[in-house]
Amino acid sequence: MASTNQVFISFALKDADLKDKLVEQINKARPEVKCVDMPMKKSWESAWKAEVQDTVRGCVGVIGLISESITRADGQQWELRCAFDSGLPVMLICDSDSKDIPAKELPDMLREKDIRLWEEPTVTGFLNGLNIARAEE
Write down the domain spans for the chain: 6-128
pLDDT tens per residue, range 48-87: 999 999 999 999 999 999 999 999 999 999 999 999 999 9
Burial class of 97 by CB neighbour count within 10 A (0 to 12, 13 to 18, 19+): exposed
Helix then strand then coil, % of the chain, to nearest 5: 45, 15, 35
Closest CA to 71 of 104, 97, 48: 104
**CA angle at 72 for the pair 70 and 77, rounded to the nearest 5°:** 55
Banded pLDDT at 3 (limits 50, 70, 90): low
Percent of the chain with pLDDT over 90: 76
| pLDDT computed for residue 104 by the predictor | 81
Task: Report the CATH architecture of 6-128.
Answer: 3-Layer(aba) Sandwich (3.40)
Give the mean model confidence (pLDDT) for residues 24-38: 95
